[in-house]
C-alpha cells in the first residue's frame, strides 16, 4: 500500500496526479504547497477524497532558524499558514524541513527549530494537524536542515516534552547511511512518532545533490530492511514514493507512473 | 603553518607544485599517487626535501571492501604497494579512503575494512608509514566509504587494538556537520590518532558532489573552532589545504595559489 508525492510527477498538475494515481490503483497522494497555487486547499482535498485516494501529508513547512527574531517570528507565521492549508485539504501531517542558516552553528539552529515548533504547537493541535520533523541528509546541513540525523529529530521531540502532535518523517534517502538508524527507529516507535515513511533510492553515481534520486531498485538503499524496521516499530501508514529526479521528470509521465507502481511492488511490497 | 595537497592545483605537475609552493612560503606538500606516474617516488621525495618542503602525506589507498575474497586480497596488495610508495617518497602518512560496495550492507563493508587494514599492519610498521583512516561525508557512503563518521573511524582503530600505526585523517569537509565530532576529536586525541587535518570549505549552494569544494572562507564550516579542537586534542602537524574544485582548477593557478595563502592566513592561522 503506497502513496505518491506529487513532486515525483512534477510535470503534472495536482488534478492530473489525482486522476492518474487513482486510475493506476495507487492508494494515496502527498501534496506540496505549490499544488494549491490558484486553488482552494479544501477543494483539492475534496477532489482527492472523491477520487478515492487517501491524503498522506503536505510538504513542506519548517525553515525556522534565522538570524533575527523578526525573521523567526515570520517563519512561525508561515508555518501556521501551512498548518491551516494542511487542515483545509485534509492532510493529516505537515512535513517540516527544519532549516539552517549558513555559518550559524548547527546547535544554535537546532535550538531555534525547537522554539519554532513549540510556537506552532497550539495551532497544530487546534487544527488536528501533526508536525513531522524530517531529518535531512548531512549534505543539506548548510542551508536546509540542522537536523541531519534521526537521533536529532527524536531529541527535538524529547526537548518539546514529547507532545503527540510532533513526530518524524523518515525518508530512506536522508537516513540510510546512519549506523544509529535502527536504534532511532525503535526509539521513535516507542514515542509513537513515526508519522511518515518516504521511499526512493540512492543512485551510484549521484550527479546532483537535489534532483538525482533513484526509483526504488535503482540504487543501494536496503528498502525492505528499513520498511520492516518501521513496521516493527509500529508505523501503519502508507509508504510514500518521493523521487526528485530531473531525469524522470523528463520522461513520459504515464510510462513513469507505471514504472513507479512496478518498482514499489518489486522492492517494497 | 600549512601544506597543500597537489590535487588542489590539479593542472600543475608535481614539479610545478613543489617549486611554486616553496616559492610561496608554503611549508608542506601532500601527494596523490598520480603524482608518481612516470616518476620514481624516491626522486619525488628528494625533490620535495631539496625544496625545503615537508611531505605531509600520500593520498590515497584503501578501497578494501569487495564481494569476492580474491578482490579483497588484491586490494590489500594494492595498499601494500601504496605503503611502499609512501615510504620511498618520505610521506609519513598514507590516507585511506576505505571503500564501500553499493548494495552491500555498510556494516559488512566496515568489517572488511577492518580486516583489510589488519592485513596491512605489519607492512606499514616495517615501512614506518602510518595509515590514516579518513571518514568521508555520508554522501559518499554508496561506493567510496562505509566509514562516514569520526566515531566509526575511531571504532575501527579500537577493533584493531589501537596499533600506533593506525589513526585518522580528519577533513573538515567530511565531518563538520556531525554533532558527535567534538567528542570524537577528543577520543582520537586520547589515542594519539590525529595524523592529518584537512581544511577547505562547504559552499552554499554546492553544485557537485565531488568537485565543488570551497576555499577556506567561501563557506560555512567553523574552521577556527575545528582547528582549535584538533590542536587541543594534541594534533601538532600542518593543516593540509585540500580543495577539489572544477571552478578553481579552471583559474590561473599562480593567482589561485596566492589566494590560497591569503585564505589560510585569514581563516586558519
Residue A106's closest chain B neighbor by CA?
A: B177
Rounded to 10°, the helix A181-190/A150-159 angle is 30
The size of chain B, in residues, is 269
In contact, B85 and B33? CB cutoff 8 Å: yes
Q: What's the pLDDT score for residue B11?
A: 98
In contact, A168 and A135? CB cutoff 8 Å: yes
- Average pLDDT of the segment spanning A206-210: 96
pLDDT tens sequence across A3-36: 999 999 999 999 999 999 999 999 999 999 999 9
DSSP 8-state symbol, B142: T
Please give the grid coordinates belonging to residue A154. Answer: 527524536
Tell me which chain A residues have a C-beta less than 8 angstroms from the C-beta of B222: 105
> Using 50, 70 and 90 to split pLDDT, how confident is the model at B14?
very high
Q: What's the pLDDT score for residue A168?
A: 98
pLDDT tens sequence across A112-138: 999 999 999 999 999 999 999 999 999
Q: What's the pLDDT score for residue B124?
A: 98
> Using 50, 70 and 90 to split pLDDT, how confident is the model at B40?
very high
Q: What's the pLDDT score for residue A75?
A: 98
Please give the grid coordinates belonging to residue B60. Answer: 590515497
Q: What's the pLDDT score for residue A133?
A: 98
Tell me which chain A residues have a C-beta less than 8 angstroms from the C-beta of B153: none
CA distances from A236 to A28, A64, A252, B106 (A): 14, 29, 32, 27
B→A interface, C-beta within 8 Å: 102-103, 105-107, 137-139, 141-143, 148-149, 152, 176-179, 202-209, 219-220, 222
| Dist. CA B10–CA A184, nearest whole Å | 42
* Pairing status of strand A93-97 against strand A130-133: parallel
- Average pLDDT of the segment spanning A218-224: 98
Q: What's the pLDDT score for residue B139?
A: 98
Please give the grid coordinates belonging to residue B126. Answer: 616495517
Q: What's the pLDDT score for residue B23?
A: 98
Cα Rg, chain A, nearest whole Å: 17
Which pTM value belongs to this model?
0.97
Model ipTM value = 0.96
Q: What's the pLDDT score for residue A179?
A: 98
> Using 50, 70 and 90 to split pLDDT, how confident is the model at B43?
very high
Residue A143's closest chain B neighbor by CA?
A: B204
Taking an 8 Å cut-off on Cβ atoms, the answer to whether B102 and A204 are in contact is: yes
The residue whose grid cell reads 518521493 is A242
Q: What's the pLDDT score for residue B148?
A: 98
> Using 50, 70 and 90 to split pLDDT, how confident is the model at A260?
very high
Q: What's the pLDDT score for residue B178?
A: 98
Q: Convert chain A into a string of H (helix), E (strand) and C (coil).
A: CEEEEHHHHCCCCHHHHHHHHHHCCCCEEEEEHHHHCCCCHHHHHHHHHHCCCEEEEEEEEECCCCCCHHHHHHHHHHHHHHHHHHHHHCCCEEEEECECCCCCCHHHHHHHHHHHHHHHHHHHHHHCCEEEECCCCHHHCCCCECCCCHHHHHHHHHHCCCCCCEEEEEEHHHHCCCCCHHHHHHHHHHCCCEEEEEECECCCCCCCCCCECECCCCCCCCHHHHHHHHHHCCCCCCEEECCCEHHHHCCCHHHHHHHHHHHHHHHCC
Q: Which helix (H) or strand (E) holds B132?
A: strand B130-133
pLDDT tens sequence across A159-176: 999 999 999 999 999 999
Which candidate from A142, A202, A220 shows the least CB-CB separation from B220?
A142
Q: How far apart are the first and last CA of chain A?
A: 7
> Using 50, 70 and 90 to split pLDDT, how confident is the model at B18?
very high
pLDDT tens sequence across B196-221: 999 999 999 999 999 999 999 999 99
Q: What's the pLDDT score for residue B260?
A: 98
Tell me which chain A residues have a C-beta less than 8 angstroms from the C-beta of B139: 137-139, 206, 209
The residue whose grid cell reads 539552517 is A100
Mutate to test the interface with A, among B148, B177, B200 (most CBs of A within 10 A): B177
DSSP 8-state symbol, B33: G
> Using 50, 70 and 90 to split pLDDT, how confident is the model at B51?
very high
Q: What's the pLDDT score for residue B73?
A: 98
> Using 50, 70 and 90 to split pLDDT, how confident is the model at A88?
very high
Which candidate from A148, A202, A220 shows the least CB-CB separation from B177?
A148
Q: Return the closest-CA partner of residue A99 out of A124, A55, A51, A134.
A: A134
Q: How far is A4 from chain B (nearest CA, A)?
A: 24
Residue B108's closest chain A neighbor by CA?
A: A179
> Using 50, 70 and 90 to split pLDDT, how confident is the model at B164?
very high
Q: What's the pLDDT score for residue A210?
A: 97
Q: What's the pLDDT score for residue B80?
A: 98
| Dist. CA A184–CA A165, nearest whole Å | 19
Beta bridge partners of residue A214, listed in sequence order: A201
pLDDT > 90 fraction of chain A, expressed in percent and rounded: 100
pLDDT tens sequence across B72-117: 999 999 999 999 999 999 999 999 999 999 999 999 999 999 999 9
- Average pLDDT of the segment spanning B127-149: 98
Amino acid at each position: 500500500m503506497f502513496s505518491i508525492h506529487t513532486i515525483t510527477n512534477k510535470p503534472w498538475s495536482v488534478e492530473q496526479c489525482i486522476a492518474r494515481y487513482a486510475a493506476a490503483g495507487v492508494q494515496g497522494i502527498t501534496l506540496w504547497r505549490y499544488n494549491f497555487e490558484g486553488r482552494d486547499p479544501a477543494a483539492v482535498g475534496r477532489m482527492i477524497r472523491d477520487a478515492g485516494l487517501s491524503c498522506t501529508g503536505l510538504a513542506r513547512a519548517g525553515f525556522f532558524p534565522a538570524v533575527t527574531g523578526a525573521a523567526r517570528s515570520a517563519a512561525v507565521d508561515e508555518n501556521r499558514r501551512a498548518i491551516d492549508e494542511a487542515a483545509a485539504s485534509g492532510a493529516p501531517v505537515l512535513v517540516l524541513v527544519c532549516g539552517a542558516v549558513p555559518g550559524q552553528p548547527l546547535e544554535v539552529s537546532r535550538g531555534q527549530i525547537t522554539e519554532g515548533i513549540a510556537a506552532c504547537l497550539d495551532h497544530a493541535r487546534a487544527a488536528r494537524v501533526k508536525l513531522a520533523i524530517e531529518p535531512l541528509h548531512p549534505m543539506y546541513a548548510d542551508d536546509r536542515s540542522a537536523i541531519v540525523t534521526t537521533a536529532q529529530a527524536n531529541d527535538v521531540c524529547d526537548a518539546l516534552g514529547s507532545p503527540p502532535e510532533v513526530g518524524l518523517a523518515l525518508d530512506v534517502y536522508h537516513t540510510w547511511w546512519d549506523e544509529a538508524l535502527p536504534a532511532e527507529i525503535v526509539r521513535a516507535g516507542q514515542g509513537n512518532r513515526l508519522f511518515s515513511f518516504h521511499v526512493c533510492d540512492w543512485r551510484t553515481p549521484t550527479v546532483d545533490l537535489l534532483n538525482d534520486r533513484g526509483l526504488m531498485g535503482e540504487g543501494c538503499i536496503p528498502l525492505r530492511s528499513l520498511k520492516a524496521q518501521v513496521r516493527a516499530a509500529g508505523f501503519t501508514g502508507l509508504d510514500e514514493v518521493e523521487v526528485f529526479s530531473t531525469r524522470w521528470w523528463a520522461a513520459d509521465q504515464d510510462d513513469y507512473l507505471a514504472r513507479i507502481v512496478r518498482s514499489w511492488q518489486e522492492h517494497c511490497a
